[in-house]
Structure 1
Amino acid sequence: MPLQKLPRLAEIALDGTEDVEVTLDFTRSVGKRPMIKGHIRGNIVLECQRCMQPVTIALDAPLQVALTTFESDERPEQEGLEAWLIEDERLFIQDFVEDEILLALPLVAKHEQCEPLRKLIEALPSDEPVTESEQVDDVAASAKKNPFAVLKDWKKTE
């Protein structure tokens, strides 16, 4: 399936993304429910969310869904299948395939090993480590500013 037929995927995919190979079989489940079995394969190039460089995601997603026309239908789950809701008794195959691809992609695209674009810890204004005496001073200062300190002896005065 060409990438240009999948606009939501094309929006997030980077250059280098190949067309996706899709195999679908339209059949019936054990309970005589209409279902789709198949497989989606391809390489999707996304932007790594750590280093902002391209990362290739190898997509290999099996499909096995039962088609239903109302949300409260529990029969597909009882057969061990994922339910796919069809509105207006029509299914647009390219939308179905695109949804399945987007669901198969990782929530956050990232390399296994890479360096972040920026340092993760930027709490200190300088790269100097905090000494132990500075930590003690910070604890003492925060204890003085405790707004609940006035309530400390409240129960004792009754």
Structure 2
Amino acid sequence: MLNRLPVDVNPFKLVEQGRCLAGVMPLQQLPRLVEVVLAGTQDVAVTLDFTRSIGGRPMIKGHIRGNVVLECQRCMQPVTIPLDVPVEVALTTFESDERPEQEGLEAWLVEDERLFIQDFVEDEILLALPLAAKHEQCEPVRKLIEALPSDVVLTESGQEDSAVITKKNPFAVLKDWKKTE
């Protein structure tokens, strides 16, 4: 699978021919993904089968596989996320086409009978990434501070102070305002 994928294709012709594209998508060709991932992320393997759905709609089925390195949102260290993105989209030429959704498929709008493989693959990967990447087990960068009741005061050593702070009501000055009239 060392093949490079084409830049753009006519997906409807590929569906008629029953073609399958398989190859490697270099990371540097995916600019939006490059902004999100860390160093160490490798190229992704892509398999796209241009076929028809059960209802006869032109569609793309396949997989995108690889590993991406993201920043753990707990410990801020690199975390490797394995990708195994199943692709199953129906091709359509107009936005208001509801038939793909009726078949349980996601619609992909094809303009000018051209599908840019790089954009298609990048969109599928970005949709599959976790919202917050994290290790299974890791410690946060900073210690979490538990919320305490507002009337409890801690001393420097972290022990509860028995003295209770009386809060001043910021509206206390208005209490007598109506009485002066």
| TM band (smaller chain) | 0.7 to 0.9
Correspondence for 2:12: none
Aligned residues: 146
Corresponding residue SS for 2:75: coil
1:69-148 → structure 2 map (5 Å cutoff): 69-121=93-145, 126=156, 128-131=158-161, 133-134=162-163, 137-138=164-165, 141=167, 145=169, 147=171
Correspondence for 1:26: 50
Distance 1:122 1:67 in 2: 51
Structure 2 spans left out of the alignment, 5+ residues: 1-24, 148-153, 176-181
Structure 1 spans left out of the alignment, 5+ residues: 152-158
Correspondence for 2:33: 9
Matched, 1:48 2:78: no
Distance 1:102 1:127 in 2: 46
Distance 1:147 1:54 in 2: 50
Distance 1:90 1:8 in 2: 20
TM-score by length of 1: 0.79
TM-score by length of 2: 0.70
Distance 2:169 2:87 in 1: 59
Q: 1:130 to 1:89 in 2, by over 3 A?
A: farther
Matched, 1:61 2:91: no
Corresponding residue SS for 1:118: coil
Q: 1:126 to 1:40 in 2, by over 3 A?
A: farther
The root-mean-square deviation of aligned C-alpha atoms, in Å, is 2.7
More strand by share: 2
Corresponding residue SS for 2:41: coil
Distance 1:83 1:37 in 2: 12
Q: What does the per-residue CA deviation read over 1:30-89, in whole Å, with 9 as the maximum and x for residues that have no partner?
A: 222211000011110111111111100011111100011222211101111111122333
Q: Percent identity?
A: 76
Q: What does the per-residue CA deviation read over 1:102-153, in whole Å, with 9 as the maximum and x for residues that have no partner?
A: 111101111111111112328779561434x45xx35x52xx51749x89xx
More helix by share: 1
